[in-house]
Structure 1
Amino acid sequence: MSAAVVLSKGDLRAVTAFAAACAETVLGIFEADRPEDPRPREAIGAAWAFARGGERGKALRDTAWAALKAARSAHTAAGREAARAAMAAAGAAYLHPLAQATQVKHILGAGAHAARAAELAAGESAAAHLERTVRRAAPEVVDVLKRYPSAPDGGGRVGELTRLLDAALRAGIE
C-alpha cells in the first residue's frame, strides 16, 4: 500500500489551474480541427471553475470524459493531443493522495499533452513549449509535485514529455 500524501483543496485547485492554463495554450489546435465540437473547451472551463472555487463533482468528470471522446473524433494527431490536454485539465482535480508515480500524470498530463499537440501541429520544439510550461507552474504546483515519486516510465512520447517536465520542475525550484 502506498503512503498517503497530504493534499488540501487549495493544492488541488492550484494543480487544476496549472493544468487548465496548459490545456488552453493548445485549445485552438483542436478547434481548428473540429470547430463545431465544444467538448474540450467545456472541460477546460470546468477545470477553471473548480480552480476558482467551484465544486469538484459531476461536471468535471463528465467534461473530462467528453473531451476524451472528442479526442477520438479529431481528424489530426495534434487535435487529438489538444483534446487530451483538456481532458487532463478536468481530471487534474482528481489527483489522489497516494504516493504513486502514476499520480504525477494528474499534475503534468495537461502540460505534456499540450507540448505534444504543439510539436505535432506546428513542428514547434516540444522543449520550447515545455520551457513555457515550467514558467507557468506556480510554486504551489511544484510543492505538490515534490510530494510524489518521479513520473513513471512508459507512455510513449507523451510519457517522455511528462518525465522531462517533471525533471525540469523538480530541478528548477529547490
Structure 2
Amino acid sequence: MGRKRIHEIEHEPIEQNLRYQGQYLDRETGLHYNTFRYYDPDIGRFTQPDPIGLLGGFNLYQYAPNGFTWIDPLGLMLLYRGVNLAEYDELMKTGKWTSPPSTLEGKWFAESYKDAVTWGEKMGHGGDFRVVQVSVPDNIADAAYKNPRLDGIGKARFINNVVLNKAKIKPKWSKYIHQPKC
C-alpha cells in the first residue's frame, strides 16, 4: 500500500537538470549555469564574457570554438614559392615544374607567404620575382621532406618535380614582387 505501480509512474515527467559537463539547468531563467557565468542554449553562447578574459580566446562569449574552421574537406595544404620571372613564365607556358641541369630535381616551398617573400629577396632572383601559391594534397605535403628552418628563415617542404607534375599541381595565384635596384 502507498506504492505506485509502474504503469502509474511511467508518464510522470522526470526533471533532469544536468546539462553539459559542469552545467546545471536554472529552470527559472532557462539558462545553463556554469559556476561563473550562464550559457544560453538557444543562441549557443554565454551571456557574460569569459572571466579569464582574452586568455580564453578572442571570442569571450563562445562555449567552444567552431570545429569546422579546423577541417580541410578537400585535404589540401597551401604552400608558397618565390620564383624568378623566367621560371614563372616557363611554368605558365608549359604547366610543368622543371629544374635546370645539375640542380635538385624538385622545388622547395615555404609554408607561409611571408617566408616565400623572404626567400625570394634573400636568394637573389636577380631583381623582381613572383610568389606563387599552390594547393598540395595532404598526402603529398605529408610525404615531402620537411625542414623546420630552411636557410634560417622558416618552415619549408621539398617536393620532387615528378610528383608535382604527376599530381598536376599548378599555381592558384601569384603576386609580383618588385625589388628596387641598388
TMscore range, shorter length: under 0.3
Structure with the higher fraction of residues in strand conformation: 2
Structure with the higher fraction of residues in helix conformation: 1
TM-score, scaled to structure 1: 0.23
TM-score, scaled to structure 2: 0.22
Which structure has more relative contact order (CA 8 Å, sep 6+)? It is 1
